[in-house]
Amino acid sequence: MATLKDVAAECGLTVTTVSRVLNNRGYISDETRKKVYAAMDKLNYRPNEVARSLSKKTTNTIGVIVPHIRHPYFADMISNIENAASKKGYKIMLCNAKGRNNKEKEYLDMCTSNRVAGIILFSAGVAVQEFTDSNIALVTVERFIENGTAAVECDNRQGGELAAKHLIESGCKRLLMVSGVSENSMPADDRALGFEDVCKQNGVFYKIIQTSIGQYDSLDYHELLEGTLELDEEIDGVFASSDLIAAQVLQVCEKFGRKVPKDLKLVGFDDVMISQLTNPPISTIHQPIKEMAETAVDMVIAASEGKTVPKRTLLPVSLVKREST
């Protein structure tokens, strides 16, 4: 593959000069510029980003570490992050931590080794707490971390409140919340808090069930759901902490012959594609995924350029009413 040197030789100039037309820097005569472009074209020259990065001591890539790629929420996030990054001339290095702490640590190291400009971290592990490489901007999404550069979150508590309010206003008397993860300080936790609050305020009976960590991906909420719904036939409103769980609630309802929304009303969380593809389509709490992604990207880039960024950003959620309520 042709290098700057080859291009320079081709048109009888030095690498520096060629480098300068490439980067639009300093004084260059029109004639030289033309010559250089011609030579580049002729040799099919493609700048070597690796060398460029070494020289500039930074890359234009952002490491993105997620616990699962297949989960529609993360797929959506990744898509939006890639978009935002691409617009700003950055590329994405995708890492799938799969909920395992050692993988997460490994990926953090890998990103460091590759001298990424910054890291966007969705992962939930604890290993990050040790990550203190201050050279690399670290913004977390949906998770606050002490030694991170910045965190962007959606208002999970508000989401829980909205869901509870909506169910209660729709006439539900006996609520169930199905929470994905039980770990502390996880987003689902705040959702539960908001949900609880509103239920208490309104004197409405509620119950919260949750599964163990790292269930993002799995489809086996059925057992848990069946147990609960069978045991308590009076439940007439369910708040699922993700649309994926909500879809499964729908399936279990079908199995038990409970009509949604007639017998039981359902609110999901995330507002990902699947909530529109079920029968009935699921009312859900919309996460501003695009805005979150864009904010995260803006922040890593800003931070990597040495600018100061807000330590914590909270984005509002909203209720999307569809046909399950």
Binding site for a copy of itself (CB under 8 A): 1, 44, 46-51, 53-54, 59, 61, 68-70, 72, 75-76, 78-79, 82-83, 86, 91-96, 109-110, 112-115, 133, 135, 219, 244, 247-248, 250-251, 254, 273-274, 276-281
Apex CA 220: angle with CA 215 and CA 223, to 5°?
A: 125
H/E/C letters for each residue in the chain? CCCHHHHHHHCCCCHHHHHHHHHCCCCCCHHHHHHHHHHHHHHCCCCCHHHHHHHHCCCCEEEEEECCCCCHHHHHHHHHHHHHHHHCCCEEEEEECCCCHHHHHHHHHHHHHCCCCEEEECCCCCHHHHCCCCCCEEEEECCCCCCCCEEEEECHHHHHHHHHHHHHHCCCCEEEEEECCCCCCCHHHHHHHHHHHHHHHCCCEEEEEECCCCCCCCCCCHHHHHHHHHHCCCCCEEEECCHHHHHHHHHHHHHHCCCCCCCCEEEEEECCHHHHCCCCCCEEEECCHHHHHHHHHHHHHHHHCCCCCCCEEEECCEEECCCCC
Among 19, 156, 295, 325, binds DNA (CB under 7 A): 19
Among 13, 172, 225, 274, binds DNA (CB under 7 A): 13
Q: Count of residues binding DNA (CB under 7 A)?
A: 32
Tell me the closest approach of the beta carbon of residue 143 to DNA, in angstroms: 30
Tell me the closest approach of the beta carbon of residue 301 to DNA, in angstroms: 17
Closest CA to 297 of 104, 57, 62: 62
Tell me the closest approach of the beta carbon of residue 256 to a copy of itself, in angstroms: 12
Indicate which of a copy of itself, DNA, none lies near residue 3 (CB less than 5 to 8 Å, by partner kind). Answer: DNA
- Options 20-28, 167-175, 194-202, 273-281: segment touching DNA (CB under 7 A): 20-28
What is the dihedral sign for C-alpha 24, 29, 30, 31?
Answer: negative
Find residue 25's DSSP bridge partners.
none
Indicate which of a copy of itself, DNA, none lies near residue 308 (CB less than 5 to 8 Å, by partner kind). Answer: none
Taking the least distance from each CB to a copy of itself, the nearer of 114 and 202 is: 114
Residues 48-77 contacting DNA, CB under 7 A? 48, 50-52, 54-57
Taking the least distance from each CB to DNA, the nearer of 26 and 227 is: 26
Tell me the closest approach of the beta carbon of residue 70 to a copy of itself, in angstroms: 5
- Options 15-23, 136-144, 180-188, 243-251: segment touching DNA (CB under 7 A): 15-23
Indicate which of a copy of itself, DNA, none lies near residue 277 (CB less than 5 to 8 Å, by partner kind). Answer: a copy of itself
Tell me the closest approach of the beta carbon of residue 27 to DNA, in angstroms: 3
Residue 114 binds DNA, judged by CB under 7 A:
no
Taking the least distance from each CB to a copy of itself, the nearer of 169 and 254 is: 254
Chain residues in the site for DNA (CB under 7 A): 1, 3-5, 12-17, 19-20, 22-23, 25-29, 31-32, 45-48, 50-52, 54-57
